[in-house]
Structure 1
Amino acid sequence: MSTTNYSFFGAVEQSFDKAAAFTKWDKGILEQIKQCNSVYQMRFPVKMDDGSIEVVEAYRVQHSQHKTPCKGGIRFSMEVNQDEVMALAALMTYKCAIVNVPFGGAKGGIKISPRKRSAYELEKITRRYTAELVKKNFIGPGIDVPAPDYGTGEREMAWIVDTYSSLRPGEIDAAGCVTGKPVSQGGVRGRREATGLGVFYGIREVCNMEDVMSKLGLTTGLEGKRVIVQGLGNVGFHSAKFFQQAGAKIVALAEYEGSIYNYDGLDVDAVFKHRVETKSILNFPGATNCEKNTDALELECDILIPAALENVINADNAPRVKTKIIGEAANGPLTPEADEIFVANGVLVVPDMFLNAGGVTVSYFEWLKNLSHVRYGRLEKRFTENMNTNILGQMEFLSGKKVKKEHRDAITHGPDEVDLVYSGLEETMITAVNEVMDCWKQNPAIPDMRTAAYVVAINKVAISYAELGIFP
């Protein structure tokens, strides 16, 4: 398949069909699950800073309403098109199903380059987009809940919730219309690093499986593993940072301006600081520059983390990739042809459809917080601390020994919001990895982990439809 004719949604359908052969469901149910339920394509005029009027192209796709609300990010990119948004919405459906988050899948996109727009222009475009969604009932805490994605962040989500609230006065749960907001606007602590942390938890769990690592010729655990990360955005940066903290070596980093490597390891924070100061990761002290940013994908390592855009590893460069494990932190970084090559070469691909589900998992926690109107930890933190202090005091009294201060602080500590978010995310990712692995082990005919993940997702969505009585 040439990259010029590449259809992202077609690739998702191809993976779906491959997995559907390993399920028992009726063809009609499978067809319903596969298709996008609603596609909203819009054009709206916006007056720019220079006085000119531009017509902006934008999308919102709701792939499935087997659970409501629908959930999915909004990306700002010149690469946005209907095919991409449909594919990402479909992946959201399957992702939410695998990690047991009760949402249907959705996705949004605005065809603009955020780097070339002023903050005021971006605000006008975001607010107008939100108004269009409200007009067609494509947003709301019980309907469709957007979130940040490529090119967007907390600022854009704050504009969305403010616009929605002004158009829906008196709606008590209005803050739940979007997630990824600043904490002051109803956001949740831990959301910013959630996707990268989820990638880390997922790969860590795979690396702790002795039978899996033995097949790959690797030792268990992350200590000393050589890791390459493509993309130093929110997801890539936090993924790299958590791997580094766990004792792995970050041997190469890639961004759109180029890539760098050092087989003795790179300091992620130092590289990030260098990039902020020089606007480039290139020429980082002690590192070697690569000719192209994609060169880093082909360097030797144990774990490769593509955390940028889709279709970066395809039939052309897959044979040159020298790694044992690929963790898809981005959405759709591998084409189906690349998948086939890696299966033949014995490379384990941990698929995007649940590995990067940290964002939607913590978005779910934020949404629940908005609906309950209570901050996590507020009700139980002090009670837990007091109880643990009393228990520790009794143990010290009975034993006649005193516990060191650092140990005392760790034992008596009551959970803050971020502690509960991290704990919930860790549980979610560990459970998801094991569900997918169990499915794969129970059916040895399944060729790879991606297909196993699709089988798990299809079964869960189909059961939801069956239990709703839609397919008697």
Structure 2
Amino acid sequence: MSKNQNKTGVYSFFNCIEKNFDKAARFISIEKGLLEQIKACNAVYRMHFPVKIGKEIKVIEAYRVQHSHHKLPCKGGIRYSIKVNQDEVMTLAALMTYKCAIVDVPFGGAKGGIKVDPQTISAENIEKITRRYTSELIKKNFIGPGIDVPAPDYGSGEREMSWIFDTFLSLRSGDVDALACVTGKPVSQGGVRGRKEATGLGVFYGIRELCHVKEDMSSVGLDVGLVGKKIIIQGLGNVGYHAATFFHEAGAIIIALAEREGAIYNEKGLNVSQVFLHLKNTGSILNFSDAKNIENTEKALELECDILIPAALENVIHKNNASRIKAKIVGEAANGPITPEADEILEKKGVIIVPDIYLNAGGVTVSYFEWLKNLSHVRYGRMEKKFSENMNAELLQVIETVCKKRISTEEKKIILRGAREIDLVRSGLEDTMINGFHKIRDIKKSSKIENMRTAAFVLAINKIIDSYEKLGIFP
């Protein structure tokens, strides 16, 4: 059994990240002790607090981990799951540090977790737990616009973030920047448009950029572009659904979708919106018309395809099934979906793996935009939208005069429209994902690194080192 595995033989999530970090460290010339500082979690806050649920008092176990203080505030979501444990939260916090560094978001990594099953607890009791958790964070100074900014994660969403903001404001009344204490809020409470689909859209932008690189596509025997690419997506939650939708709209063919209860397959392609409607109506993706059921969801990952997107759970590709993966590209939309052993098997097969620490950074990127919006107290587009529309109208008038041709009303609407908040958010996300991809690729080529994951870690570590040096912490 590997030293990175626990007694049951399952890989420790945190040790997987450490192993990838150590691979990257071989390409960096810096004292070992300083690398150990970057790798270590700065602060782990484990708490137990009582909450009255029904007629009983339940003791809730919860965590907040701040992995790195090289930049402040720290940033990371809060996971609501009965499977929450310290190892998982530490790992997710570490991933956040590296994600933020790669996409040039000025945060240190953090993560939270509350050990509850939100599916079996009423909304009223979830609210009690959330508010008490927030008050515990405030007591220890583990939350604040310039300290630590939570966000949604598995099992949480806008509703919980709204409760966190309200609790923070009630205990920190008068804080003019209180809105920035948490992101992922409803738009009516300072949230930003485009946040819900941000991670899935970031996955789309990252894979699309890879597919535009002729050299990389030639290495796996594929044509340039997304049109006609056969894609399998595992997980139809928020990330998987939006990624699937954007790929479908771009002309890719979604041949299979997999969920816990099984998978559905159609070689000619699935209509994602219709599958999602079927899921809402029946509670399952199975028995969708014009699709074949696959009882074992793991078998769907082994089907012939061009691109495989694991978008749900960690460790779904492991040493026992990696050799049967037929995809030429694997995009890690989920955190840690490939074990280290599987990583090596896929790499030997020549599969391009687009790593999670880059590919699913769309969420934190748009969270950064929301944080900036809250601190500036101005909605994106408010100041320049009308100016842009007026300038476009003048330009259009000149074009019609010179060309002596009238432009149709419908065409005018498209040309005259100024940038809305969602347009600016998506534009910023697209630019971020494109730049991040090429920075990773440049390091991969210049340092002669064999895979994108190691190159991404090298990029992240170098940026963190640079931050520490500017702070004067490293000699």
Which string of whole-angstrom CA distances, capped at 9 and with x for unpartnered residues, describes residues 58-112 of structure 1?
1100000100000001111122110111011001000000000000000011111
Q: Report how far residue 407 of structure 1 moved.
A: 2.7
The equivalent residue for 2:335 is: 331
Instruction: Report what 2:84 is aligned to.
Output: 80
Distance 1:17 1:250 in 2: 36
1:461 to 456, 461, 464: 464
Q: 2:379 aligns with which of 375, 388, 396?
A: 375
For 2:203, give the aligned amino acid: V
What SS does the aligned partner of 1:73 have? strand
Partners of 1:177 and 1:368 lie apart in 2 by 11
Q: What does the per-residue CA deviation read over 1:393-425, in whole Å, with 9 as the maximum and x for residues that have no partner?
A: 012112211223333222221000000000000
- Once the two structures are superposed, residues 255-278 of structure 1 have per-residue CA deviations (whole angstroms, 9 ceiling, x without a partner) of 112111111111111111111111
Name 2:33's counterpart in structure 1. Answer: 28
Given that 2:93 and 2:110 are in contact with CA atoms closer than 8 Å, whether structure 1 keeps it comes out as yes
Q: How does 1:129-278 map to 2 (within 5 A)?
A: 129-278=133-282
CA deviation after TM superposition for structure 1 residue 447, in Å: 2.2
Give the counterpart letter for 2:88 in structure 1: E
Which SS does the other structure have where 2:268 is aligned? Answer: coil
Aligned equivalents of 1:447 and 1:383: distance in 2?
Answer: 48
TM-score, structure 2 normalization: 0.98
Match of 1:96 in 2: 100
| Partner SS state of residue 115, structure 1 | coil
CA distance in 2, matches of 1:41, 1:264: 50
- Distance in 1 (CA, whole Å) between partners of 2:17 and 2:339 is 9
- C-alpha distance in 1 between matches for 2:465 and 2:77: 24
User: Identity percentage over the alignment?
Assistant: 66
Report the CA distance between 1:122 and its aligned residue. 0.9
Which of 379, 384, 392 in structure 1 is aligned with 2:396? Answer: 392
How far off is 1:294 after superposition?
1.8
Of 67-76 and 397-406, deviating more is 397-406
Compare 399-408 and 382-391 and name the one that shifted more. Answer: 399-408
What's 2:474 paired with?
471
CA distance in structure 2 between the aligned counterparts of 1:53 and 1:162, rounded to whole angstroms: 24
Q: What is the CA deviation profile of residues 305-337 of structure 1, one whole-angstrom value per residue up to 9, with x for unaligned ones? A: 101011111111111111000000011111111
In the alignment, the residues of structure 2 paired with residue 92 and residue 10 of structure 1 have an alpha-carbon distance, to the nearest angstrom, of 15
* Amino acid in structure 1 at the alignment position of 2:338: L
1:452 paired residue among 441, 455, 472: 455
Aligned to 2:367: 363
Count of aligned pairs between the two proteins? 470
Residues 25, 462 of structure 1: 8 Å contact kept: no
- Match of 1:436, SS state, is helix
Shift in Å at residue 178 of structure 1? 0.4
Q: Is residue 49 of structure 2 the alignment partner of residue 44 of structure 1? A: yes
Q: 1:104-151: per-residue Cα shift (whole Å, max 9, x none)?
A: 000011111111111111111111111111110000000000001111
Structure 1 unmatched ranges of 5 or more: none
Contact 2:261 / 2:295 at 8 angstroms: preserved in 1?
no
Q: Is the 8 A contact 1:349 1:449 kept in 2?
A: yes
How far the C-alpha of 1:4 sits from its partner, in A, is 4.0
Which stretches in structure 2 are left out of the alignment for 5+ residues? none
Question: CA separation in 2, counterparts of 1:328 and 1:430?
Answer: 16
* Superposed CA offset, 1:350-392 (max 9, x none): 0000100000000000000000000000000000000110111
Q: Give the Cα separation in 2 of the matches to 1:261 and 1:38.
A: 45
CA distance in 2, matches of 1:150, 1:294: 21
Segment of structure 1 superposing worse, 107-116 or 203-212: 107-116
* In structure 1, C-alpha distance between the alignment counterparts of 2:411 and 2:33, rounded to whole Å: 58
User: What amino acid sits opposite 1:32 in the alignment?
Assistant: Q
Range moving further from structure 2, 460-469 or 310-319: 310-319
The answer (yes or no) to whether the contact 1:57–1:111 under 8 Å persists in 2 is yes
Which amino acid in structure 1 is aligned with residue 198 of structure 2?
A
Shift of 1:296: 1.4
Q: Which amino acid aligns with 1:456?
A: L
- Range with bigger deviation, 315-324 or 9-18: 315-324
